Structure 1
Amino acid sequence: MVVRVRQEWAEWGGRGAAEKENYPEREALRLRWALLAAAATALLLAAAAALARRLPDPLSRANGSEHRFIAEIAHEHLVNLTSIGPRVAGSYENEVLAVGVVVAAVKRIAATASPHNRVEFDVHTASGAFPLAFIDGMSHLYRDVQSVVVRVRGAGARPARSALLLNCHYDTVPDSPGASDDAAGCAVVLETLRALAAAPRALRHDVLALLNGAEENVLQASHAFVTRHRWARAARAFVNIEACGSGGREVLFQAGPGEPWLVEVYAAAAPHPFASSLAQELFQSGLIPADTDFRIFRDFGNLSGVDLAWSSNGYVYHTRLDTADRIPAAALQRTGDNVLALAHGLLGGEWLELAAERGASQPVFFDVMGLWVVSARAPAALAAAALTAALVLARLLLSARDAQRELSLDARAWRRAVWRAGAGAAAGAGAGACAAALAAGALHAAGARLAFYARPALLAPLYALPALAAAWGAGAALWARRRGAARLLRGAWAARAAGDALAALQAAALAAGAAAGLRSAFLPLLWALPGAAAALAAGALRAGARARLLAAAAAAALPAAQTGYLALASLDMFVPIMGRAGTSPLPPDVLMALTVAALAMTAFCWVQPLVIAARRPARLIYWMAAVSGATALLVAAGVPGAPYSAERPQRVMVFHTRRTVHARLAPPRHELLYWIPELDANTPRSLAGLVEGAAEARAGSAEECARFPYCGAPYYLPVLSLVARGHWLPAAAPPAPAAGLVAALHTSAHNATVQMLHVNVTGPHHIVMIVAPAAGARLGAPLGGPGGGGAGGAAGGWAGGATPQRGPLWRDAAGALRDTYFFAMHDARKPGPWVLQLPIEHTFTEAPAEWAALSLAGHSLSTRGPALERLLAALPAWTAPTGWSVDLHLYSV
């Protein structure tokens, strides 16, 4: 067996087989052709990166017309909003100053409108409640959230007209000026409104703009508008502008759920397209821990629309670095050009008057390197898939015929050779993924975690090279084990067999994607269709071996460039996200390695047949492995430096917490603590020596996690599945000013199967309540609501009698699994009491020892005491810290 493996290894290196079978070694391709193919693919990636960075020249008042989007005016709106500073929902900055800035801008727009259009606005205040499937799931209760609603309509228009809705939000997370998220979006909406209102003719349809003031409160203001504002009924479609980065190009990453013409109008109108149904499937898969108002308009407004977002430079997202000077005017111009063109396309035609197509499937869509958009509805997409499958089959039959005619190789032997090459490619893909994952795991174990975060260029040698080396090496080694007549295949014929196998695998991937309804299946179609067409054309022309290879290379150019274009855009978004990935089951280094491996092997897949056909391919594999290994050693030794920098910082959250544990037969126990959620793989290790006690920080113990829901930690959002761990530090002083939470709890019998839990809570603007009823019980629809009393209160009570959203299961100290329910209560104005009756529905014959465990936390998002200020100030410049005071109470009733 050892002799056989050595012989096969020698054959893979270019010796042995040629000598044994007396075939001259010159029949193998020179290795330089594989090197040239790899270099050409790298150049295509560089070209795709250059195209992705292109931005239009921004217009100013001096060189722009009143009917065009002018970036200079939009930038002024951006500066006016961000100069206020952070605008947290419920704060004076958000509820008074930001509203004033937006209203003043709207009044200026109204003053410059043409006589054919008029501008109206309304400062909308509303209260409400609704369940939301956001990450782990939550239920909202909100009071008096504000938005500015604008309507532009043609003069003399009839009252009932369909409208296009534009949406953005001006509120921010704590400690961030929120330039990209989402003051820039509001700047684009305002300037788009000005250009539309200045049109020299009356608008055919109305334009609504929702500049909402409570999106970061997890989509509350959009719910208030779409369910309660009188103008909302006219909305027929929407355009939402968001961000998970700063500047760059905005991507259309969600469309639908109906109205497929939305994407078609975008494809025809947008002058700078960037859109992909692959991006939509990635976002909706949950890999990106975020959500947008798209969900609210879809689920509560029964509307279809498009979601646009900036994704470049996500390092500054939700940090103090998200400032106006990081958003170039050219980025505003690009987004504004696209939004204005899309608005004109929708407003100028009959689209908004058509009968609703709510159940229509969304088209497959993608832009070709930012130049134009391909959009195909389901029938056309399926026809393209069927055509591709037919061409691939014809390619396989043609190759079998040529092999029989030119090599006297029967069809069965040729099929075995193609099967061997396909098995090698499949095994190579697995080997490549394993190699990248092992490299990442080794670095993680060595302590070199997130090394790529501040230096994304390291992704290529650390993960892409080992993946390609393993994939090509495994494919070539398996090919060397051919038996029978298939051993006659050398050089161009070996490459042809491997190319056919690759086409068959791509067609199989296309078929599987189409069967699963995945619109991202356009990617294997892009590879298989031109390759099969080129092979058939070369066969029809009776081209020679060299011409066939050139045709295959030409056919691979577009799919390789497009794959690289998508890969670079994906990495641009995912790398910063890995710096706030929380406690995922796999280390973020491994997740990133698997992503890079998949993207690299796809972009360079057409090189593998040349590697298989090359003389001594082991040389290339050895060099790639050597470069990767040397880079990994340097990273493990710390040569590249820390994984963070001032421009690409580590995120640190610190909750200064007074935690009170209420026992039924003992006095309350108070603890003063700092809670630091584990936002990345280096928390809290990277803070050791920088923050007193960080080296000895304790994680939430197993005992605490069994005693209290959410491990007794002051979670502000329902993200237990993303951030499963946090770390406690002792605090010498209480949080100041204290959150001031007061609660009254008691249960009473309602009927034989319902125990009513009465909750009366007062506290700051933001209160989180987590309820875990007894095992086997669940919560029914609450009574009471945002109005604060009775069976409905002043605001009309809970949303339509809906049951609250269930969260993750909690295993208590007895080992029983219990449901959890996460409630977020928000007062935008002066906080008042929250009075709720929560029905605990059960089938118990005997009362349990505990009807419910509760966690109540009052979060004072805009307040920090001196102790917390000193702690955050002590952190180095390569961190992006935030934090606030929390009053946390843990109950058992």
Structure 2
Amino acid sequence: MDALNALKQRHFTNPFDNDEDHLHQISIFSPETLVDAAIRSHSRSNSKSKSVSVDYDDYSKSSKKRRSTFSNIKAILTAWGIFIGFLALILAVVYQIHYRLPAPVYEGMNPVSGKLQFSEENVRQVVRHMTRNIGYRVVGTDQELETKNYLIRELSNLKENARLERLRGSHDLPHFDMWVQVGDGSHRFDFMSKVVMKMYTNMTNIIVRLSCGPECDQNSILLNAHYDTTLGSPGAADDALGCGVMMEIIRIMSLRPAPKKNSVVFLFNGGEESLQDASHSFITSHELKDNIRAVVNLEACGTSGPEILFQANSRVMIDAYRTVPYPHGTVLANDLFATGLILSDTDFRQFVDHGNLTGLDMAVYKNSYLYHTHLDLDEFLEEGLPQHMGENTLALATYLTEEANLVNLERTSSVVFFDIFGLFFVSYSWTTAIRLHILVGGLSLFTVATQASRPTVRSTLSILLSFVVALLLPNFSVVLLKALGSPMQWFSHEWLSMALFGPMALAGMFGIQYLFHDKKASNGANELNTLSGLQMFFTFALAAVSYVGLASSYVFALFTICVTTALVFNHKKAAINLKDNREVTHVDLATYFIASLLPTAYFSFVCFSLLDMFIPLTGRIGVDAPVDHIVAVMSGFITFVFCPPVLAFSHRFGRAVLKRIILGLVVAHLIMVLISSTVIHPYDELHPKRVFVQHLRNMTSGESVLYLAHADPGPFYEPYVTEIESMFKTDAKFRSGSANPSDWNAIYPFNQFLESYVLDTTPYIRSQTTNKTISESTAPLTDLIQGAPKLIAENISYDPETGLRRLTVLCTHPDYIWTVANFDTHLASWSLGSSDPFPYATHYVIRHVGGYVSDGWRVDLEYYATGPEDKLRIELTAMETEGFGRDTERELEGSGEIGVMKRIVKSRPLWTTLTYFSILTDMFEL
């Protein structure tokens, strides 16, 4: 019986310690198993003795072995089932919380209380009109003018309603002022490692101010949204939604008492997609610019889920965000966006760079498959999304006008902020963060000193290597998928990336633990050492990231404190269970729940956002981007951070069981890869491949050609280009983007991500025209084009002493928009006052965008020349005004219905989305 009691004490929590050949049932033992174990233990201690005898009349040796094996399997499955079930429950709950949105409100006034309330339906009315009735609102088109007139009309109605309400006796309503700004200007725009010089003319802004009078107007908060759209998109979320939200806030705030402290300015800017021209015009030249103290920017790169606070640069504005009813934001997003990995930008840049403002940048980001596509429509805006953005923005506007001190706001990145499951918002200074991190690190070291934590170099190193392998090993899956001809297999289903790459990452993590499992120590000791090593890993990471001053280091503090708390609990539990003063080295099952609960819940919440943001992004970051490897590494990272304590748990049943788990994960991975590559296509109607199409007419060469390009490394030629070849009865020629950088100058600098297939459309046009002169002529079709854009030079001079040649370049482009001039030279000066030219010879790109009825521009240049005849060679590209959502295209005069682009649009496969336009290019020597 002494042997039996000793065995009970040793194996009460983890009976698998130090015995891989004979697995025992965890925590619950049948009497037969205990007797059998006691006999085996006594037999080992008395190997020479033959005196032990137990009557097994009721059991044969084979039945005992089967029963023991069954108990062992049941114990393993029970333990893993409990742990995995616990994690699955967390995941399910967090999923529901993460994607929850408020219920839409359909009435602008509460029918019970009679108070004004934010109405999603009012927002949707604005969005529907802008997207359905007007459509693609590209700067310079008729639709831009329609949108401008619509917004002015609606805002004037709101102003008139406020005036009438004041006449009815509501004398404390705010002053309602309106401006329509039309301006010219220029600015330098650095984006995607390229430098673009921007010029704009007739750029329109519509501005509304609500205030209590002059005493409020000295300090204003700015709310900004843009009403223009990019090429190929009706822009429901981006950014008719923001305009509709601001319109509804104006309705509410104009009918309630005036703000007590600060005024609020609403900017409906008419040129964000043209590279932020309208916001630049406002913040550099409008009469209100000097009174703006902070900005709240409303944007979108998705159509569903809550909007996220992803940029914030002052403590006052971050604290103001505490007042919103549905907070969703983290400094993690702030730090991530600052790296430039997310290929996107907003007007927030102009307000910060040119207005020296602080503020908040908020955007809808989920389901960005539809971002900048023809599917950015009202019907795809998730129910509750306008309500979420609207109530949050209204709460911000109310607080900032009623209570906030907007004087002397200072820009800072040293603020930690994050939401807790969309319920609470936490923010504190970097000084506070450092103190907390020191406390957390000190507690971690204290547990080591008290033996509650028992890290070793071996166990800590195993955690580090598990992390590295989790990032690297999923790339094996990429090689396998490409060998099967299935790149980007995961694209249309965010979760599929985890199903494809997660098992390999987990197998790699467990593989490292298998190699580092100490055979000389018990399984329980391996568990405790590994969990302690995990604590040290995060403690060291916390120290390192805090040292470099990264506010996102709070996540390492969360991991560290939770594992530390779990180890303290485990130590106390072991002390309670200790009966005979023997040292106990095992990990209680509840310890894993404590170590995992908060980190797993929080990082599940964060990782949902990470997948929602990055998976769709891979469809537009370029044909040369290793997107499969990027997603594989990201999936490995998510696998690791989801529940790091599982690394310690993997030791619970010894190396033999761990080996079988690793093999099972590898097999599951192979099955998943094979099934996926067989039955899943990377694209579908709501997860489309982005295809870029331009019909180019080259005035210099006389060519009329069609360019087809894509922006990701997924399948393109076989399913799509071959179909276009058949349609136009001609073969396509491949053109590398790197070897032909000027092919897509019309959308510079985005052209660097494209590679093209080019088809000659001249035979098709000749076969379709009803004009015999054209069909039978061999002259270039471009000879028929009239009113083409022109460059001319005036005021030409040359100074032989300085070697400087001066000229004024004039461009005329009636009926064309978005001109791009590019040239190579060594400029000494120019008339673009926003920045100086480079002090060396280089390539320049000047993009000009004009508002409606803007058909020309001019620029003065001075450059180093070898003589008066050393002319400047400029290539000019201009975009047609037709074809933006109305499926029309300029016809060659007298050629009849040609419709090259029209046919492309109508034949579009459902799994693609088109960004399409027609351009004309010419070369000038001035």
- Write the mapping of 1:29-178 to structure 2, written as runs, cut at 5 A: 30=76, 32-61=78-107, 63=110, 65-82=114-131, 83-95=133-145, 97-113=146-162, 114-116=170-172, 117-135=174-192, 136-154=194-212, 156-158=213-215, 160-178=217-235
Q: How does 1:646-795 map to 2 (within 5 A)?
A: 646-660=685-699, 668-681=700-713, 682-692=715-725, 697-700=732-735, 710-721=741-752, 723=753, 725-732=755-762, 733=765, 740-744=788-792, 749-750=798-799, 752=802, 754-756=804-806, 758-763=808-813, 764-773=816-825, 778-783=826-831
542-551 or 458-467: bigger deviation: 542-551
1:483-882 aligned at under 5 Å gives the runs 487-539=519-571, 542-544=575-577, 548-586=588-626, 588-615=627-654, 616-636=657-677, 638-640=678-680, 642-660=681-699, 668-681=700-713, 682-692=715-725, 697-700=732-735, 710-721=741-752, 723=753, 725-732=755-762, 733=765, 740-744=788-792, 749-750=798-799, 752=802, 754-756=804-806, 758-763=808-813, 764-773=816-825, 778-783=826-831, 798-800=832-834, 802-804=835-837, 819-840=842-863, 854-863=874-883, 864-865=889-890, 866-882=899-915
CA offsets 1:281-330 (integer angstroms, 9 cap, x no match): 22221111110000000001111110110011111111111111222441
Secondary structure at the residue paired with 1:120? strand
Tell me the amino acid that sits aligned with residue 75 of structure 1.
R
1:425 CA drift (Å): 2.0
Does the CA-based 8 Å contact 1:27-1:491 persist in structure 2?
no
- Distance, in Å, in 2 between the alignment partners of 1:150 and 1:143 is 22
Q: How far has the Cα of 1:430 moved from its partner? A: 2.2
Cα 1:688–1:88 change in 2 (3 A) is: closer
Shift of residue 830, structure 1, vs aligned partner? 2.3
Aligned partners of 2:649, 2:366: CA distance in 1, in Å? Answer: 35
Q: Equivalent pairs: percent with the same residue?
A: 25
Q: Secondary structure at the match of 1:689?
A: helix
Q: Is the 8 A contact 1:138 1:804 kept in 2?
A: no
Q: Distance in 2 between matches of 1:13 and 1:712?
A: 69
Q: Deviations over 1:334-358 (max 9, x none)?
A: 1111111111221111422x32323
- After superposition, the C-alpha distances for 1:89-122 in whole angstroms (9 at most, x for unaligned) are 1112112x11122122212322343532121111
Task: Find the aligned partners of 2:176 and 2:408 in 1 and give their Cα distance.
Answer: 27
Give the drift of 1:600.
1.6
> Match of 2:822, SS?
strand
The separation in 2 between residues aligned to 1:606 and 1:828, in whole angstroms, is 58
- Give the Cα separation in 1 of the matches to 2:18 and 2:353: 57
Q: CA deviation at 1:675?
A: 1.8
Unmatched 5+ stretches in structure 2: 1-16, 25-39, 46-67, 163-169, 578-584, 766-780, 884-888, 891-898
Cα displacement (A) at 1:537: 4.8
- 1:166 to 1:202, Cα distance in 2 relative to 1, 3 A: closer
Cα shift at 1:591: 1.1
Deviations 1:805-845 (A, max 9, x none): 89xxxxxxxxxx97332211012132333222333359xxx
Q: TM-score, normalised by structure 2?
A: 0.81
Please list, as runs of the form range in 1=range in 2, the aligned pairs for 1:392-431 lying within 5 A after superposition. Answer: 392-399=444-451, 418-431=456-469
The letter for the 2-side match of 1:304 is T
**Whole-angstrom CA distance in 2 between matches of 1:427 and 1:853:** 57
Q: Which moved more, 1:625-634 or 1:846-855?
A: 846-855
Q: Partners in 2 of 1:430 and 1:337 — Cα distance?
A: 43
Q: Does structure 1 retain, via aligned residues, the 8 Å contact 2:798–2:867?
A: no
Partner Cα distance (1:655, 1:607) in 2 = 52
3-state DSSP of counterpart to 2:304: coil
Q: 1:531 to 1:799 in 2, by over 3 A?
A: same
Between the aligned partners of 2:838 and 2:785, the Cα distance in structure 1 is 32
Q: Deviations over 1:131-179 (max 9, x none)?
A: 012222211100011111000112x443742011000011112332211
Q: What amino acid maps onto 1:111 in structure 2?
A: E
What one-letter code is carried by the residue in structure 2 that aligns with 1:609? A
| Cα displacement (A) at 1:572 | 0.9
Distance 1:385 1:540 in 2: 24
1:372 aligns with 2:424: yes
The amino acid of 2:724's aligned partner reads V
What letter matches 2:337 in structure 1? F
2:390 aligned residue: 336
User: 1:636-681 CA distances to partner (integer Å, 9 max, x unpaired)?
Assistant: 3x322x2211122111110101235xxxxxxx42322222233111
Counterpart contact for 2:245–2:390, Cα < 8 Å: yes
Closer, same or farther: CA 772–670 of 1 in aligned 2, 3 Å: same
Match of 1:198 in 2: 255
Is 2:320 the partner of 1:279? no
User: How many aligned residue pairs are there?
Assistant: 809
Structure 2 CA distance for aligned equivalents of residues 521 and 822 of structure 1: 40
In structure 1, give the amino acid aligned to 2:645.
W
Q: Is the 8 A contact 1:59 1:333 kept in 2?
A: yes
> What amino acid sits opposite 1:355 in the alignment?
N
Deviates more, 1:451-460 or 1:293-302: 451-460
Residue 259 of structure 2 contacts residue 401 of structure 2 at CA under 8 Å; is this kept in 1? no
Please give the secondary structure, in 2, of the residue aligned with 1:799.
coil
Kindly provide the amino acid, as one letter, of the partner of residue 296 in structure 1.
Q
Say if 1:344 and 1:39 are closer, same or farther in 2 by CA, change over 3 A. Answer: same
Call closer, same or farther: CA 1:93–1:33 in 2, change over 3 Å: same
CA distance in 2, matches of 1:727, 1:756: 40
2:410 alignment partner, one of 344, 357, 363:
357
- SS of match in other structure, 1:132: strand
User: In the alignment, which residue of structure 2 is the partner of 1:663?
Assistant: none
1:298 corresponds to which of 352, 357, 360: 352
Structure 1 match to 2:63: none
Relative to 1, partners in 2 of residues 1:345 and 1:489: Cα closer, same or farther, differing over 3 Å?
Answer: farther
The answer to whether the 8 A contact 1:693-1:729 is kept is: no
| Partner-residue secondary structure (3-state), 1:765 | strand
Distance change in 2, residues 1:770/1:686 (3 Å): farther
- Name the stretch that deviates more: 592-601 or 62-71: 62-71
Range with greater deviation from structure 2 (568-577 or 860-869): 860-869
* Cα shift readout 1:392-437 (whole Å, capped 9, x = no counterpart): 22223333xx69xxxxxxxxxx65xx21122222222222222211
Root mean square deviation of aligned Cα:
3.3
CA contact (8 A) 2:599 2:643 kept: no
1:672 and 1:731 in contact (8 A); partners too: yes
Q: CA separation of 1:738/1:362 partners in 2, compared to 1, >3 Å: closer, same or farther? A: farther
For 1:469-515, what per-residue CA distance to the aligned partner results, in whole angstroms no more than 9, with x for missing partners? 111222222x13x4xxxx44323321111111111111222222222
SS at match of 1:300: helix
CA–CA distance in structure 1, aligned partners of residues 533 and 506 of structure 2 = 18
Cα 1:324/1:712, change in 2 over 3 Å: closer
Superposition map of 1:243-258 within 5 A: 243-256=300-313
Q: Which has the larger radius of gyration?
A: 2
Q: Distance in 2 between matches of 1:506 and 1:634?
A: 37
In the TM superposition, residue 718 of structure 1 has moved relative to its aligned partner by 0.9
CA distance change for structure 1 residues 538 and 202 in 2, over 3 Å: closer, same or farther?
A: same
Partner Cα separation in structure 2 for residue 737 and residue 570 of structure 1: 49
Deviations 1:603-651 (A, max 9, x none): 1212111003333112222222111111111233x322x2211122111
Structure 1 gap ranges (5+): 1-10, 404-413, 661-667, 784-797, 807-816
